Chains A and B, each alone.
Chain A
Amino acid sequence: MAELNLSPRVIPDRLQSRGSRALKSWESLLLVVAVLIFAINSFASPYFLDPWNLSDATFNFTEKAMIAFAMALVIIAGEIDLSVASIIALSSTAMGLAVTMGADTPMLVVVGLGTGLLCGAVNGLLITGLGLPSIVVTIGTMSLFRGLSFIILGDQAYTGYPASFAYFGQGYVWWVFSFEFALFAVFAVIYSVLLHKTNFGRAVYAIGNNQTAALFSGVRVGRVKFILFLLTGLMAGIASICLTSRLGSTRPSIALGVELEVVTMVVLGGVSILGGSGTIPGVVLAAFIMGMVTFGFGLLNVPGIVMSIFIGVLLISVIALPILWARARRRVAH
């Protein structure tokens, strides 16, 4: 995604202090928006503030957010993975197939994770091994993976998952906190550490900012990217286990269009679609915002397709607004 940048780069005379930078950051803006939406929702519907209702609301975003963490890393590294929803479908189909062959719950988890990893490896090999653009490759594997589900399932559906398998999507760890929410929280911490505190995370930023410079600085660009696509596949596999367990059935059209919501979540979280910048706390806040908005709409009986319009508008406007804002500020400065 080579973009044209002809505007001069301004280097400030004096750097801002850490406190004022944090206050002006995208994340603090997201926090304000999240609090606002929470407040509006509690006024709009009397059912919103019930702890069990709020717990139900988390199911709207936990699965997508788990993929969004890995996707954030991929996008920061300047690539994209549009095949995640299809990986969910294929991995769910593989688990369904395993059930008909008499697999038990631990085996199902292995099958789900394995399929996800395998799909990620296919993406990674095509992109880093053959040096193909990730957007076309993952558009291709998006049809390939879901196409395989369609070949296996046709117009049928798999049901009859073992009772113990239901825990991943329907179980609660403690009080109103579901297993999915706990998993989401754990992954939020793991990915924050991975991106912000490890060499691997630095390498991801370096690749996204300048791939050639990263290569000359000794970053193994190909290997890092391959691992990123493996991670995305793995997270899609985990999301697939949760979703399949929650729904209790598999159809080839499962999770259709989820890749759009995941990308929206990542971009809303302040990750630049051109790569090189973004944070995991931003993505966590974006997940909460999207989850609460869709849940609030649901309480107000807004149909799903209208919510998808909203997500489309959100996706475009969160990218457009900072650009317009910067332009307005430049005009004021002149």
Chain B
Amino acid sequence: MSSAARRRRHARTQTARYAGIAVLLMFFLFPIYWLFAISFKTADEIFASPPVWVPGSLQLGNYFVLFKDGDAFTVWNSLVTAGLSTVLATMIGGVCAYSLARYRTGGNALASWVLSQRMVPPIVVVFPIFLLYVAFGWIDSYGGLILLYAAFNLPYVIWVMRGYIQDIPVELEEAALVDGCTRLQVLWKVVLPLARGGLFATAVFAFVFAWNDFLFALVLTRTEVTTFPVQVTHYFGGQSNFWAKIAAMSVLGTLPVFVIVVALQRFLVRGISMGAVKG
């Protein structure tokens, strides 16, 4: 094949690939576009047939209603519970991972057990936890939900951070010990700075998991700490749905996650696969 022919063929392949990518983008992004579009539509535009493809203006009325009625508070609840549970899970999960990685505490058996906890279906756990929380008076409390989200995220945090710490050369820690640091100081002054990148990425994904949860929040909250996914399902009626509210609330709950995806592109693979697969 001459080089000119090869170049022509290459150009044709690239064009075909762009066409394929365009179809994919259409399928995967149009639903998201539609959600955003509805959130900006007026009632007349939402209930129009044929559908209005582009909202007439970026009017924020649907959002104002959510803030005026206090529904937007559920996003704050999501922020508090997902945020604090992430802090808790990364802190105690991080030191646990360090212990598993460096001291082989509990050997492979403990590490496997931690991993297996991630595989247990939430529906199995949620009913006993519900009864436990009723007995303790923890239903509809920030503390109860935060504790559960933290526990739920621990296997993920521990598993990913264990792998991350294993990749950090041990010589630095040994040198610090020779220089007279205590083991706690080594953990704080040597390991923590080195593991910061991994810890940060892990925390972000733990946050997203907690942020997106529905089942635990549905069961363990009533009115005070309702999170946004539960609130979205409140807008479904038997006969009619509150379309504008569904869309606006969904967008409020989705935007933070999108910001995270764009900001953390390079961590995506490692985070999303629960560290199962080296990216």
Co-assembled chains A and B = no
